[in-house]
Structure 1
Amino acid sequence: MMQLSFLGRGRPSVDGAMAGRMRTSLAEGAWVDHVSGWVKGHGAVFDHLRSTTRWQAHERPMYDRVVSVPRLMGRVPRDGPGHPVLTQIGRALSAQYGHPEWHVSLALYRDGRDSVAFHGDRMGDRRWDTVVAVVSLGEPRRFLIRRAGGGASMGWNVGWGDLLVMGGSCQATYEHAIPKCRRAGPRMAVMFRPVSVPEV
C-alpha cells in the first residue's frame, strides 16, 4: 500500500509563488528547478488520475524484436479528464516561466521494474531554450540527469507532489532517466511541455 506524506492529504492546491524553489545551474545554459512537496493534497490527485485515465501500453523495436515500454502512458484530455489542480499547475508554470499554454502527458511507473532510460525530450528546434516541468505523484523515485552522451549523473528523489523543471538547453545538452530499482511503490509523472513545441 502506498504511504502518503502528511501533505498528501487534504484539498489539492499549489503555491503559485513556488516558495522554496532551488535552482541548480548546469553547463551550457542548462538548469533545473526543484520544489519539494509543491502539490498539496497530492494523494487525491494521484488516485483520481490513476482511476480516470485510459492508460496506454506502448511497444518499441529493439534490435530484432519488439519490446514493451516499461511504464504506462496517457495524455490529457485525450485519455482522460485530468484533475482541476492541473489547471492551477499550468497557470503557476505560465506565471513563472512565461509559456501561456501546455501539453499535459502522464507516465505511470507501477513498481520498481518500470523505468525510462537516459534521453532528452524531442522538442524540435526549441530544445536549446525551453522548459519541461515534471510533477511527481506517489512514491518517490530517483530522477537522474547527466551530460548528453554519458558521464557521471546527479539526481533527486522525487515524489509526493515534488516539482522538477528542466530549462534552458537542458533537453539538448543533458539527458534524464528514471532507473529501475529493487523495490518501489507506484509513481506518476505529470509532464507539462509548452504548446509551441511538438507533443512527444
Structure 2
Amino acid sequence: MDFQGSLFEAPASGVDDFDRITRRDLGQGAWLDVLPTWVPAPDDVLTTLVDEVPWRAERRQMYDRVVDVPRLLHTYMIGEPLPHPLLTAARDALSAHYADELGEPFRTAGCCYYRDGRDSVAWHGDTIGRGSTHDTMVAIVSFGDPRRLHLRPRGGGASVVVEMGHGDLVVMGGSCQRTWEHAVPKVAHAGPRVSVQFRPFNVF
C-alpha cells in the first residue's frame, strides 16, 4: 500500500493524550477540535482497516438515476468489536475526554474507504437521528493519505478547511451538524485513506 504519511511525525504518546488539542469556535454554538498525529503506529491500523473491514459498495438515488457511492463503507454498531485494539482505545479515550461536554459515550464507528482521489463525500451534515435537533459530537480519525475536510456554514459564510493527515483527529461538536455542512472533495491525485467516525447513540 502506497500513501504519503505526515512529513513531521509527532512522538507517539498514546490516544489518552489530548494536551495538544486546539479548539476553533465556529459560531452559533458550533466548534471544531483538531489534534494532529494523535494515534500512535497508524500504519498498522490502516493496514488492518483496509484488509479486515468487510467493505461494501453502495448505490443511491440521485435525482432521476441511481449512482455508485464514491467510497466504500462499513459501520460497526453498538456492541460490535472494532477491527484493531487501538480503535477501541481511541473510542474509550474520546468518551472519557468528552464525558462532561457530551454526557454520553461514543457508541458506533462508521468507516469510509477513499481508495484514491476520485472517491469523495458531498456536502452534508450528520442530521439523521438526534443530530437534527440536539447538539452532539462526531469524532473523525483519519488514516492514510492526507485529504482535506471542508466545512461551510449553512446559509452562507466563510468556509474552513482542515487537512487530515495520517493518525489525525478532528471532532465536530456543539451545533456543528445542524449549522454547518462538511465534505471531502475529489482531488487529482491521492492514495488510500480510511476515515473512522465515532458517534454517540442515534447520530448518523
Q: Which residue of 1 aligns with 2:146?
A: 140
Q: Which residue of 1 aligns with 2:115?
A: 110
Contact 1:53–1:80 (8 Å) recurs in 2: no
- How far the C-alpha of 1:153 sits from its partner, in A, is 1.6
Distance 1:149 1:69 in 2: 26
Unaligned runs of 5+ in 1: none
Greater fraction of residues in strand:
1
Change (3 A) 1:71 1:164: same
Change (3 A) 1:101 1:72: same
Distance 1:126 1:64 in 2: 28
Contact 2:138–2:198 (8 Å) recurs in 1: yes
Look up the equivalent residue of 2:192 and give its one-letter code: P
- How far the C-alpha of 1:67 sits from its partner, in A, is 0.3
- How far the C-alpha of 1:77 sits from its partner, in A, is 6.1
Change (3 A) 1:26 1:4: closer
Change (3 A) 1:93 1:57: same
Q: Which residue of 1 aligns with 2:59?
A: 59
Change (3 A) 1:26 1:3: closer
TM-score, normalization by structure 2? 0.88
Moved over 4 A (4+): 77-81
- How far the C-alpha of 1:123 sits from its partner, in A, is 4.3
Deviations 1:7-62 (Å, cap 9, x if unpaired)?
88x9x873313121010001111000000000010011000011001101011111
Distance 2:72 2:125 in 1: 19
SS at match of 1:104: strand
- How far the C-alpha of 1:119 sits from its partner, in A, is 0.5
Q: Which residue of 1 aligns with 2:180?
A: 174
Change (3 A) 1:141 1:14: same
Q: Which residue of 2 aligns with 1:95?
A: 96
- How far the C-alpha of 1:2 sits from its partner, in A, is 1.6
| Number of residue pairs matched by the alignment | 196
Contact 1:35–1:162 (8 Å) recurs in 2: yes
The residue correspondences of 1:35-54 to structure 2 (distance < 5 A) are 35-54=35-54
Unaligned runs of 5+ in 2: none
Q: Which residue of 2 aligns with 1:16?
A: 16
Change (3 A) 1:55 1:150: farther
Distance 2:17 2:23 in 1: 14
SS at match of 1:18: coil
Change (3 A) 1:163 1:131: same
- How far the C-alpha of 1:126 sits from its partner, in A, is 4.1
Distance 1:150 1:71 in 2: 27
